[in-house]
A and B are shown apart, each in its own frame.
Chain A
Amino acid sequence: MRHVLRRAGFLVALSCCAPWAIAAPAEELSIRIGYLGYRPDIGPVLSNVIPEPDDAGLRGAELAIADSNSTGRFLKHSYALESVTSETAEDLLEQAAKQYADGLRLFVVNAPTATLRQLSDTMPEALLINAGSADDRLRSQNCLANVLHTLPSRSMLADALGQFLAARRWNRWLLIVGTTADDQAYADALRRAAKRFGHQIVAEKPWSFDNDQRRSAQAEMPLFTQATEYDVVLVADERGDFGEYVPYQTWLPRPVAGTQGLTATGWHKTVETYGAAQLQKRFEAHANRWMNDRDFAAWMAVRSLAAAVTRLRSTDAGAIRQLSLSGELPLDGFKGRKLSYRSWNGQLRQPIPLVHPRALVSNSPQEGFLHPTSELDTLGFDAPESTCRLSEVRP
């Protein structure tokens, strides 16, 4: 039966024009999607005044289930989320194994790279959508065959910023890098963006202080940011240890960008055009808080699964993966243009908002950064820069 479904799905994916118009009367489908959440404790941070929500990601997936059932109820397709949030990686793997044994094959994963990799290995027949790891290695060399990504990679964020700074001609960067591996990875993405868009890193300083900048930023930060002339300070501090205290405290009166200050992100409260205001309203009614990038990635993950199920009239993970990677599945992400998955690494191509805490500053790609097929592919690892060829291999 599975084989037949898969073939039928493939045929539908190939035919270009509105296959549902001639489809037989709707067959009932029940679509079970697993949500796997595990965020390791990031440890004590110095700037801990405004905590991040604990349920980031999950709430987005829940809303997308409700949105998808709005189409589903007319097609007799019923979507259900089976969610697990774990305190440890081991527990998450165990719970996921249970869901997998219970027949679940479609998952949204909000977990660090190592856990995602293990899930991918232990559930080879499943399709996983990554809404939790921005790791560039998963998009450049070590792509996982059964994983798609809705969360933008670090390089997409850094490129979005790099293009904007190029448009402003803020080409001389002072780079401050935190101590964690994530900070190093973000700094790598910034260095790559600097090279791609013609910037120069005039000085680079590792952040190694361990005191509380809430009390001492004004005394210490100006001295720390002394350097020869720079146009902008770039900060790589993903967990928000010290970066919040860089703006307004720099030696030269210069803007701050990166993980703090002007930030590139997949989603933000201040995104409101192209119908986004409606999504924000629905989310806030559902979750009683603002929608963040992880919520959006999880929302997008479920929506893209639902869009594929609607097209294929099947829940087969292999067929959904194939359709998703074919470039023939336009997705609506309230970002002003259709979104789709990159065929080589399964990354969702999408415009990236650049924001400060209370306003949208710009959207990348910036005008004038051209690309032979899609300007969205000027952000992140483009096909020639990635060794992955996911659409050509079967998991």
Chain B
Amino acid sequence: MPRTALATAIALAFSLAAGSAAAATAYVSNEKDDSISVIDLDKMETVETLQVGMRPRGLTLSHDNKLLYICASDSDTVQVMDLATRQIIKQLPSGADPEQFALHPNNKWLYISNEDDALVTVVDVDKEEVLAQIDVGVEPEGMAVSPDGKWAVNTSETTNMLHWIDTSTNELVDNTLVDQRPRHVEFTKDSKLLWASAEIGGTVSVVDVDKREILKTLTFKIKGVHPDKVQPVGIKLSSDGKYAFVALGPANHIAVIDAKTYEVLDYLLVGRRVWHMAFNPDESLLLTTNGVSGDVSVIDVAKLKVTKSIKVGRYPWGVVVTP
């Protein structure tokens, strides 16, 4: 099928799914432009650029998709954007240098890693107040809250650990040592497994949540790419449990993994220094942010093919999609 026909088909599928003319929209944080690029996924192009705080990195959506939370690292704040008006409506007390964060299923507690202070800050987003600050390892980075709401997990890049925070007490209760420079964590939908990437170790660990022990460590080999350049960062798990996608940083590839057998199925070439990923609402597409090339690659999930790249701002880092 020619690409245009395919795009039309996808677009049609969207508008049917959405039940209206509104297309799915991707928001991409541009680390070195202090801006958010807005991509219309019907048109497959950047339609607007929004100015935000300094060095925006982590992005996350409220569970009703009405609010966009933005880690403005160098402004030392988390900004909250009302997506209906695209205005910043408040700034949360995030602690210094917020980089990544995760929202609890209760839609209230935001767990934020403060890279310079070796802390995780928990903020109540409604009351705009800090509920707790938890000491973790040096250079906290990745953050995830389990879908069942029990665990918040933080990774620390210099300490090389996963820090397990019990969300009922907001206390650190356990630590799992992983490979060098853990960057990102992602829970499976059933909250039973946690996937964790280690950028310098070059591995992804799959961790049993009940035991907080590593079940399996995955390694990657791409023909023609030196192993030292394989630096896993972002992870995305498809909600049907079929695939795991791992962004391999300066190796400029996305690894596609069978989420059941842990076998690497394929490597997809995307833009340069690929950081993070997001699915569109029906998970037919996966978007990747490519820091050095300043664009977003679009992957057709059914075909496991890269179909398009979309120009955004300088150094795109985080990405989320709303229906």
B118 at the binding interface (Cβ < 8 Å): yes
Chain A contacts for B202, CB-based, 8 A? 330, 338
Inter-chain CA distance A187–B239, complex, in Å, is 61
Given A330-B202, A332-B200, A338-B201, decide whether A71 and B161 contact each other with a Cβ distance below 8 A. yes
> Interface segment, B86-94, B102-110, B178-186?
B178-186
Task: Report yes or no: A332 in contact with B138, Cβ–Cβ below 8 A.
Answer: no
Count residues of chain A with CB under 8 A from any CB of chain B.
25
- Across the interface, B137 reaches (CB within 8 A) one of A20, A70, A281, namely A70
A377 to chain B, nearest CB (A): 11
Q: A278 contacts B116, CB within 8 Å? A: yes
Tell me if B159 and A337 are in contact (CB < 8 A): no
Q: Which of B154-209 contact A (CB under 8 A)?
A: 156-161, 175-181, 200-202, 205
A21 and B214 in contact, given A330-B180, A338-B200 (Cβ under 8 angstroms): yes
Secondary structure of the A side of the interface? Answer: helix
Select one of A18, A275, A282, A374 contacting B226, CB under 8 A.
A374
How would residues 263 to 276 of chain B score, 1 for a CB under 8 Å from any chain A CB and 0 otherwise? 00000000000000
Contacts of B115 in A (CB 8 A): 278
With both beta carbons as reference points, the residue of chain A lying nearest to B218 in the complex is identified as: A17
A331 adjacent to B180 (CB under 8 Å): yes
A219 contacts chain B at the CB level, 8 A cutoff? no
Contact B178 A18 (CB under 8 A): yes
Is A67's CB under 8 angstroms from B228's CB? no
Chain B residues in 8 Å Cβ range of A281: 116
What's the minimum C-beta distance from A303 to chain B, rounded to whole angstroms? 9
Flag if A18 contacts B205 (CB, 8 Å): yes
B111 to chain A, nearest CB (A): 19
| Interface assignment of B25: CB less than 8 Å from any CB of chain A | no
Contact with A along B282-306 (1 / 0, CB 8 A): 0000000000000000000000000
Residues of chain B within 8 A (CB-CB) of A336 are: 250
Q: Is the beta-carbon distance between B138 and A67 smaller than 8 angstroms?
A: yes
Q: Does A74 sit within 8 A of B, measured CB to CB?
A: yes
A376 surroundings in chain B (CB, below 8 A): 228
Interface size class of chain B, counting residues whose CB lies under 8 Å from the partner chain:
20 to 34
Q: Residues of A contacting B178 with CB < 8 Å?
A: 18
Asked if B139 CB lies within 8 Å of chain A CBs, one says yes
Cβ-neighbour of A18 out of B181, B217, B229 (below 8 A): B217
B231 contacts the other chain (Cβ, under 8 Å)?
Answer: yes
Interface set, chain A 10-34, CB cutoff 8 A to B: 17-18, 20-22
B156 touches A75 (CB 8 A): no
Contacts of B118 in A (CB 8 A): 70
Query: Is B124 located at the chain interface by the 8 A CB criterion?
Result: no
Contact B116 A310 (CB under 8 A): no
- Within 8 Å of chain A (Cβ to Cβ): is B45? no
In the assembly, what is the distance between CA of A225 and CA of B137, in Å? 54
B82 in the interface (beta carbon within 8 A): no
- Distance A67 CA – B118 CA, assembled complex (angstroms): 11
Answer whether residue A190 sits at the interface, using C-beta atoms and an 8 A cutoff.
no
Q: Confirm or deny: A307 has a beta carbon within 8 angstroms of a beta carbon on chain B.
A: yes
Of all chain A residues, the one with the shortest Cβ separation from B158 is A67
**Is the Cβ of B159 less than 8 Å from the Cβ of A71?**
yes
Interface digits, B55-72 against A, CB 8 Å rule (1 contact, 0 not)? 000000000000000000
Interface residues of A in 304-357 (CB under 8 A from B): 307, 310, 330-332, 336-338
Quick one: given A278-B116, A330-B200, A330-B201, are A310 and B139 in contact (CB under 8 Å)? no
Q: Which of B157, B160, B217 has the most chain A CB within a 10 Å cutoff?
A: B160
Residue A231 lies at the interface, judged by CB distance under 8 Å to chain B: no
Q: How far apart are the CA atoms of A126 and B160 in the complex, in Å?
A: 27
Q: Is B213 an interface residue (CB 8 A)?
A: yes
A-B contact pairs, 15 of them (CB 8 A): A18-B214, A21-B176, A67-B158, A70-B138, A71-B137, A74-B137, A74-B175, A74-B177, A275-B157, A275-B181, A278-B158, A310-B177, A332-B158, A332-B200, A374-B226
New A-B contacts (6) at CB < 8 Å, excluding given A71-B177, A330-B201 = A18-B178, A18-B214, A67-B138, A278-B115, A278-B116, A338-B200
**Which 10 A/B pairs are nearest by Cβ-Cβ distance?**
A21-B214, A337-B228, A74-B175, A332-B200, A70-B138, A70-B159, A71-B159, A332-B180, A18-B214, A17-B217
